[in-house]
Amino acid sequence: MLVKLAWRNLWRQKRRTLLTALSLALALFLSLFMRSMQEGSYQHNIDNSARFSTGLVQLSHPDFAQSQSIEDLLPQTDHFISPAMTLPHVSYLLPRIESFALASAGERSKGVMVIGVLPEQEDEYSGIASKLVAGEFITHDDQSVLIGEGLAQTLALSVGDEIVLYGQGYRGQTAAGLYRVKGVLHFPLAALDKQLVYLPLPLAQTLYSTGAQVTTWVLHSDELSRIPALKAELQQLYGQDVNVRDWQELAPEMAQQITMDKAGGVFMMYLLYGIVGFGLFATILMMTLERQREFGVMLATGLQRHKLMQLIIIESCFISLLGVIIGLAVSFPVVGYFYYHPIQLSGDTAEMMLEMGWEPIIPMLISIRLVVDQVTIVLMLMSICLLYPLWRAYHLSLVSALKGGEL
């Protein structure tokens, strides 16, 4: 009975009901669009950066994080890595040699990061071959290297030229080699573009005299949200003999940037909800005050006060439900469109993003969790706005209400 009465009450004032529902829908749409854009951008940049540099999780020697030394190695054997292969949500496992060297060509030289990889597996993981802007991709048995476009410009190198790598090898040996540049890569992240040199893993092991050992095992997960659990499982499997680090430890600058940016986004979102909340509160209060005579008549004819409260709550729930449905109906097509057609940045904004180490695009994230979070916030906002009008209606003076006075 109360449900039917509440539904009819809503449509006695269609304009008021629709305006209230639309204000909720607008808040839901804006917050969902903003959060989808933020989280999508974070996940894209984390994933993109991880694939071309650190991976989402790394296994390394306990001392490697501090020393970054070629002396601190792990075995490149199936026996060592097989426990990690049994874990769910591990989508890639890649051995790498990661070290530093002095690269020189002619009279120019520069410190570079040398990464020894299994070319076919690395290309499947990161799609690195698609970044080629000149030359060819390396193969497993190649004696050639790939370099970043920024590094090629610094050292004035092109495909077919030779580059010298000089550094420290395993157990104090000298690591030195002369290699032909087989290809030039372009990375969207400027910091990587200016310093990366890719070698086939066997060639890197020969350069640094490591034998069948690697500096890191790179792991990737199909779900970013699974990383903390995956890290804990790996640490339990390998104990203290292996250091397990996630992307937040491997790229602390990016983690800090994301934390700060996320805090700003959340503040703006709650500011938006605050503005909408004041408007919503005023609408609900007005809706309650202007119906004082109606409430007075209902109480005079025998309606109990708690039933009156239930009636107002049901009406508010209908408005909230209507606002949520309209908000989601608008949000899904818009977010879906930008999910498949990410916003491409250009000009100074793109340059700023590149300087931050982020790719200049803004992809969207479609996530049930985001939808549930925003709908929950909208419903909580509605509940908070309802408290004072409910209190005023509960303490309604029957005589004053029937005379048309204030509640």
- The span from the CA of 279 to the CA of 356, in Å, is 38
Question: Which amino acid, one-letter code, is at 29?
Answer: F
pLDDT at 172 over 90: no
Averaged pLDDT, 372-379: 86
**Contact present, 125 and 109 (Cβ < 8 Å):** no
- The span from the CA of 175 to the CA of 210, in Å, is 10
Q: And the tokens for 112? A: 């570079």
Query: What pLDDT does 356 receive?
Result: 62
Q: And the tokens for 37? A: 């854009």
Q: And the tokens for 327? A: 């908000």
pLDDT at 405 over 60: no
Q: Which residue has the higher pLDDT, 400 or 180?
A: 180
Q: Residue 246 contacts by C-beta under 8 Å, 6 or more apart in sequence?
A: 56, 57, 227, 228, 231
**Tell me: the pLDDT tens digits for 97-148?**
989 899 999 888 999 999 999 999 988 888 888 889 999 999 999 999 999 9
- The span from the CA of 23 to the CA of 323, in Å, is 7
Q: If pLDDT is split at 50, 70 and 90, which confidence band does 201 have?
A: very high
Residue 152, CB half-sphere, CA atoms under 13 Å: how many? 25
Query: What pLDDT does 357 receive?
Result: 58
**Contact present, 240 and 232 (Cβ < 8 Å):** no
The 3 state secondary structure assigned to 277-333 is HHHHHHHHHHHHHCCHHHHHHHHHCCCCHHHHHHHHHHHHHHHHHHHHHHHHHHHHH
Say which DSSP state 54 is in.
I
pLDDT at 351 over 80: no
Mean pLDDT of the chain: 85
Q: Which residue has the tokens 């005050």?
A: 289
**Tell me: the pLDDT tens digits for 15-44?**
878 888 887 888 888 888 888 888 888 888
Residue 121, CB half-sphere, CA atoms under 13 Å: how many? 16
Residue 37, CB half-sphere, CA atoms under 13 Å: how many? 20
Q: Residue 95 contacts by C-beta under 8 Å, 6 or more apart in sequence?
A: 76, 81, 118, 201, 214, 216, 217, 218
Averaged pLDDT, 315-332: 89
Query: What pLDDT does 404 receive?
Result: 61
Of 216, 219, 217, 198, give the one whose Cα is nearest residue 207: 198
Averaged pLDDT, 217-231: 87
Cα Dmax for the chain: 99
Question: Helix (H, G, I), strand (E, B), or coil: what is residue 55?
Answer: coil
- The span from the CA of 396 to the CA of 407, in Å, is 5
Averaged pLDDT, 278-305: 79
Query: What pLDDT does 380 receive?
Result: 87
Q: Residue 353 contacts by C-beta under 8 Å, 6 or more apart in sequence?
A: 345, 359, 360
The residues pairing with 92 across neighbouring beta strands, listed in sequence order, are 220
pLDDT at 407 over 50: no
